[in-house]
Amino acid sequence: MTNTGLPLRLEAISKHYGKFLALAPTNLDVAAGEFLTLLGPSGSGKTTLLNLIAGYVEPTAGTVAIGSRDVTGLPARLRNIGMVFQNYALFPHMTVGQNIAYGLSVRGVSKAESHRRVAEVLALMQLEEYADRAIQKMSGGQQQRVALARALIIEPDVLLMDEPLSALDKQLRRNVQLELRRLHHKHGRTTIYVTHDQEEALVLSDRIAVMNDGRIHQLGSVDDIYDRPANAFVAGFIGESNLFAATVTSVSDGTAIVDVEAFRRTIRAPAAPGVEPGRPARLLLRPEHLLFNHADDGVPAEIVETVYLGELSQYGIVLENGQSLIARQITDRSIQAGTRVTLSWKPDHARVVAESSTTGGLSNA
């Protein structure tokens, strides 16, 4: 495994099925060796985008370029991509070794050379003794590694992974995620990863593209997405969040003044791009950022539920207008259901986000 894969560029790529818009025109630039995750709920367009990159689906419009090659008209087998499918798609009538060697055998690689490379990849995946094993005898986690080995051995320019861990149980999934990360540092190939699990995205990625309704809502690093979500959808999808309807009075210099009906007061907070007076907006407060009884003019509220999580506790809270929210803090035994508290937060920890993204189509790289 020597080279690190190639950069990927999508320009104005889109896909319609009849009247149905699966993917709105999208731009995407992925650097060579980067690990990019397409994150979103089902139907968000992430699998369509993956299949367009792979070449299993033809775009309605737009181009795909891998490195300096325009591959738009090429089918999958000519693009030199490696794909790992959701259910692994391992060939049942072949052994582990034969599965992995398949890509080499269709390229006419000699038996000796193929043998050597398979051994190399098996070592990388820690599956050395399994070369002649039937795949039905392998566990889910092992099959997943075989699928990855099969994709990597052909030295693809881009590695594509379609929710490869969704069939594994939670504990195993966490271990495999860390392993995937380590492997990526070793093979360094440009990787596009699809998942609906935001924790997984946060663990694995260099950058995340949060998608919904056939569009990329935000593309950025893990910190960007978490601390500075671009709109209400991203804010709600990543991490845990409390969102409140807010009417924008004014915006200047990245700070907005909004009326939050749930608090019955006017708040000043950093604003995401796209926030402007007249457009529906939300105030975002993460559970870990809420403070109890810290300020004299805090928002009055009542605790209705406490969930003990060890060092931290989660508190279900109700405001005077009936709206509920969640807070998470270091456990304070004096706070019980029924306790009245006032809520406040550091000014930087609140954020105003627009209801839906203004950049309707072409999201920038």
Which residues of the chain form contacts with another protein (CB under 8 A)? 54-56, 75-77, 81-83, 85, 87, 89-93, 102-103, 106-107, 135-136, 150-151, 154
Kind and range of the H or E run holding 216:
strand 215-221
The radius of gyration of the chain's CA atoms, rounded to the nearest angstrom, is 24
E strand or H helix at 48: helix 46-54
CB of 107 to another protein, least distance (A): 6
- Contacts by 63-72, CB closer than 8 A, 24 or more apart: 63/10, 63/11, 63/12, 63/13, 64/8, 64/9, 64/10, 64/13, 65/8, 65/9, 65/10, 65/11, 66/6, 66/7, 66/8, 66/157, 66/158, 67/6, 67/7, 67/157
Q: For residues 140 and 239, which CB has a smaller minimum distance to another protein in the complex?
A: 140
Nearest distance from residue 30's CB to another protein, in Å?
19
Q: Please, what is the minimum distance in Å from the beta carbon of residue 142 to another protein?
A: 15
Alpha helices in 125-187 (DSSP H): 140-152, 170-187
Kindly state the smallest distance separating residue 83's Cβ from another protein, in Å.
5
User: Nearest distance from residue 110's CB to another protein, in Å?
Assistant: 16
Instruction: Report the alpha-carbon distance of residue 243 to residue 153 in Å, rounded.
Output: 46
Least Å distance, CB 147 to another protein, is 8
Closer CB to another protein, 140 or 236, in the complex: 140
Residue 34 has which token pair? 């980067």
Distance CA 326, CA 310 (A): 17
Tokens 């939670």 map to which residue?
170
Taking the least distance from each CB to another protein, the nearer of 125 and 154 is 154
Considering the complex, state which of residue 89 and residue 362 has its C-beta at the smaller distance from another protein.
89
- Residues 188 and 154: beta-carbon distance below 8 Å: no
Nearer to another protein, 85 or 226 (CB): 85
Taking alpha carbons only, the member of 96, 123, 131 closest to residue 183 is 123
CB of 86 to another protein, least distance (A): 8
Nearer to another protein, 74 or 243 (CB): 74
**Closer of 12 and 89 to another protein (Cβ):** 89
